[in-house]
Chain A
Amino acid sequence: MKRRIGQKIFLSGVVVSFLFITGVFSVQAREKTVILATTTSTQDSGLLDVLLPIFEKETGYFVKTIAVGSGQAMAMGEKGEADVLLVHSPEAEKKFMAEGYGINRRLVMHNDFIIVGPPGDPGKIKGAKSCVESFKKIASAKALFFSRGDHSGTDVKEKAIWEAAGINPEGEKWYRETGLGMGQTLNVAAEKKGITLTDRGTYLALKKNLGLDILVEGDAVLLNIYHVIEVSPGKWPRVNSAGAKAFAGFMVSKETQGVIKTFGVDKFGSPLFFPDAGKKDEELGEKIITKFQAPKSK
């Protein structure tokens, strides 16, 4: 008797809860939803806040942006949990493509990475021409360095430079991993007066509160290239390939590229990204150095 009543109460609770959950929010139709897995830098810079409303208005798609590191974004793509990727980790992307997880990898834009640190320049690297050289100096000076440590595009790039410098900083006292996004890592570096590698876009967006200076820039190694990749529907039938295709097409369209070109100019005095649609990866290497010597911190 006692138990029966208990069950009744419990069951009615569950039923009502279910009604609540299903009744209150209308779930977006799958065909009209595109899951975009991207890096934190595109979201933190505010670029997507400008581009997505245009795309959604034009096409009627609803984009769910999941801002994670490039590494996690590709992991989501591998599992078919995302429809389209906007990432900046070329080596990993090539592997992703080679394994057949993605189709139609297209160049969207670039900016560059820079090494930033406190004005005191603890590693004495200011003005260095070679990025690898400056990393060696940081290590020998044991200057405090902050790494993302999250397998993001930035993180992969940084690890590659350490490798090129022949140094394994893991476990060193001066080398710290934040495990955070770019914006937060910059905040940590600013607070602790450390050096870090960042994409220029995020740095410019945050610059006013940071008190971190650009120490090294312009090395070809520091190029930061963004590609859009449609997740292959072959592996995961649930992937919204039409939506992915529409979004990828939108990113490389003339109109969008125009928006990218001017994005951030009014706020930071220089653009945060440079549109590259239609170009080949190899064409970028040379230009970058000259292009980025102009903007000086005000």
Chain B
Amino acid sequence: MDLILEGIKKAFWLLITFDPEVMGITLLSLEVSGIATLVSLLIGISTGVTVALSRFIGKRMVVSLINTGMGLPPVVVGLFVTLFLWRNGPLGFLEILYTPTAMVIAQTIIATPIVMGITLAAIQQLPQKLRLQILSLGATRLQMVWILIKEAKLPLLAAVMAGFGGVISEVGASIMVGGNIKGYSRVLTTATVLETSRGNFDVAIALGIILLLLAYLVNLILTQIQQRERPR
């Protein structure tokens, strides 16, 4: 119990003093996971909408693949990204293993199927005839897609939250492809693991609390938007 209180005290101390290392770690976490979420939104929403709107043989299979991908274990992603980015791996020439870029890539791979799956479900749950209605209002295909996305904005916001929540709290892939390098690729989760194994439970708890606060804040903002958009 002392340990927990101590940890909470330490967390507030680190927060109110703007401890440069903790701030750096927090900012990097936000940056890496934020960019990964953005990129996964671009890929996930565009692909999700495309799959939802097109008819092709094997669609069912593709859909179940995407749904399986929603539960992609981060360590498996980490392993494969590492294998690809190794100096002697197929993408070794990029020289980006153990960099934040590699972490963005791994987190993007984790978040994309989540966004894609939710997008797919969100678009499919719209009435079939809505598409025809939009086209008959004179929309181009692109306008139609845009209107459909707007119609599905509430579940799509959930996709943003799920994607961001998934990657900011992820540790396995980040530690494997980022290397948990101090001041460079150390994020909240990997720092928490390190401080725990160092026995610095107070710092670990502090980092954990910051992580929770961060996730809470981001979700709070998105929920605000969602609630505001909800019909009165």
Contact = CB atoms under 8 A, between A and B. Distances in A.
Give the interface residue-count category, chain B.
35 or more
B197 A183 contact: yes
B111 to A, nearest CB: 12
Interface in A24-66: 24-25, 27-28, 30, 33, 35, 40, 43-44, 46, 49, 52, 62-66
Interface residues of A, number: 53
B182 A13 contact: no
A209 interface: yes
B50 A17 contact: no
Interface in B168-203: 179-182, 184-185, 194, 196-199, 201
B20 to A, nearest CB: 13
B181 A64 contact: yes
Contact of A27 (B99, B185, B194): B99
Given A5-B141, A9-B46, A65-B181, A20 B35 contact: yes
A206 B198 contact: yes
B42 A210 contact: no
Nearest to B193: A184
Nearest to B92: A238
Contacts of A30: 95
B3 to A, nearest CB: 7
B49 interface: yes
A3 B179 contact: no
Interface in A55-82: 62-67, 79-81
Interface in A162-187: 180-184, 186-187
Contacts of A21: 35, 39, 101, 104-105, 108
Given A20-B39, A81-B88, A2 B53 contact: yes
A236 interface: yes
B100 interface: yes
Contacts of A295: none
A44 B198 contact: yes
Nearest to B38: A20
Dominant SS among interface residues on chain A: helix
Contact of A25 (B100, B194, B199): B100
Interface in A228-269: 236, 238-239
A184 B196 CA distance: 7
Interface in B17-55: 31, 35, 38-39, 42-43, 45-47, 49-50, 53-54
Contacts of A79: 86-88
Contact of B86 (A1, A62, A81): A81
B43 A14 contact: yes
A178 to B, nearest CB: 11
A66 B190 CA distance: 12
A28 B184 CA distance: 11
Of the listed residues B31, B39, B201, the one surrounded by the most CB atoms of chain A closer than 10 A to its CB is B39
A27 B185 CA distance: 12
B106 to A, nearest CB: 11
B98 interface: yes
A208 B199 CA distance: 8
A12 B31 CA distance: 22
Contacts of A206: 198-199
Contacts of A35: 98
A13 B88 contact: no
B3 A209 contact: yes
A21 B179 CA distance: 18
A205 interface: yes
B142 interface: yes
A1 B53 CA distance: 12
Of the listed residues B39, B88, B184, B199, the one surrounded by the most CB atoms of chain A closer than 10 A to its CB is B199
Of the listed residues B100, B105, B185, B197, the one surrounded by the most CB atoms of chain A closer than 10 A to its CB is B197
23 contacts: A2-B53, A6-B50, A9-B50, A9-B145, A10-B46, A13-B45, A16-B42, A17-B39, A17-B42, A21-B108, A27-B101, A40-B197, A43-B194, A44-B198, A65-B182, A180-B197, A183-B199, A184-B196, A206-B199, A208-B199, A209-B199, A210-B199, A236-B88
Interface of B: 3, 31, 35, 38-39, 42-43, 45-47, 49-50, 53-54, 86-88, 92, 94-101, 104-105, 108, 141-142, 145, 179-182, 184-185, 194, 196-199, 201
